[in-house]
Structure 1
């Protein structure tokens, strides 16, 4: 498999641009927190030195794949896939495959002073509980993660393991959703966490409401592959 691999799966991207699984209205700005104590930002104490990085911070000299709001560190054995909406062709998430595991990564706009990760965990746990799943917080070097057992079929037994990661950065929130072997293999989970921490978030100066997805873009190399594939489908007999 090449480094770039575009795929679309409706069941996976249906709510890929949402922070939680339900459709409850979300606060649009800092004013929403006036009547209640806002959650503090949650991030590793060494975030600025060890990531996830804000644009402009020193992330090292390695190669990165530029996806707009995200810059993903390139490494041997890593495959990158983009999740897109069929109707809009909008890129809504990036999936990173490494040694039998996957981490789906997205960046969202966030308030300047309040954190999102604590509230997102509460909402995820509540929604999963309503669907017959379970959720348990656990600690890693990156901070608090949420380990869940998700029903494969609504109302069925919880069978699919998923680990949610989150970091509150400067005016952004980075979420990772881990599936595959890393959910049962601690060493592989730590490997994905290390990859997650190597990501650079490019928030930009454009006003974006808190909790809205930061825009992702397709690398030119992948766009060229799509164009070539479309041309071949349109004219399969061409040499």
Structure 2
């Protein structure tokens, strides 16, 4: 679990003080004005600090490609992908998800259109919500599974978490749908937990982990 809290870089904080956020909530792009709060700096993602959440890195090979947050017998999986400058990815990703996870329904949620239904985990059905947020040259996929997928009280904590995520796309060229790379917290004193399996947006949190 990541336990050490990190603040935004001083120069970024100065810019944010000069320009107030133009939206009520995120997810935020690193280049837009956003609240200067304590966040876990993972490079491509900066996550809000919530001591109730157990946050883990998800990796494929030597590359960290996503995170999972565990809370109240539920999980939140987050993965940020590079997107074209001219269009978003959510419509395309939704079609791919529906092709793999049958019997999902589309409904309106806090970030617009989302998919709800069930996923199969070890042969058992598990409630799930798939949320997609298109940003400037990035796309954020959030998958809430377990009790929080149907219990709005628990889901609220996850939605608030997503709303304060900062995505750091960077200026380097990236292929369409390429995962925005993450890294361990820059503070060597920060603690984390990592497992030993590959990232899969159709599995629950404890099974998203790392391959070496």
- Deviation, 1:58, is 2.5
**What is the CA–CA distance in structure 1 between the aligned matches of 2:184 and 2:140, rounded to whole Å?**
19
List per-residue Cα deviations over 1:16-70 (Å, max 9, x = no partner): xxxxxxxxxxxxxxxxxxxxxxxxxxxxxx9844111001222212101111110
List gaps (5 residues or longer) in structure 2: 4-20, 193-212
State the aligned residue count: 175
Aligned to 2:34: 59
Query: Which of the residues 139, 146, 154 maps onto 1:180?
Result: 146
List per-residue Cα deviations over 1:156-215 (Å, max 9, x = no partner): 6x6112211110000000011111220120122232112111100001000001111011
- Structure index of larger Rg: 1
- Deviation, 1:151, is 2.7
Query: Which of the residues 114, 128, 140 maps onto 2:109?
Result: 140
Residues 59-208 of structure 1: matches in 2 within 5 Å? Answer: 59-85=34-60, 88-129=61-102, 134-152=103-121, 159-208=125-174
- Deviation, 1:116, is 0.7
Query: Greater relative contact order: 1 or 2 (C-alpha under 8 angstroms, separation 6 or more)?
Result: 2
**What is the CA–CA distance in structure 2 between the aligned matches of 1:75 and 1:224, rounded to whole Å?**
14
More helix by share: 1
DSSP-derived class of the 1:118 partner: helix
Aligned to 1:3: 2
Change (3 A) 1:48 1:112: farther
* Pairwise CA RMSD: 2.3
More strand by share: 2
Is contact 2:2-2:40 (8 Å) kept?
A: no
DSSP-derived class of the 1:145 partner: strand
Is contact 1:142-1:193 (8 Å) kept?
A: no
List gaps (5 residues or longer) in structure 1: 5-45, 227-239
DSSP-derived class of the 2:35 partner: coil
Change (3 A) 1:70 1:47: farther
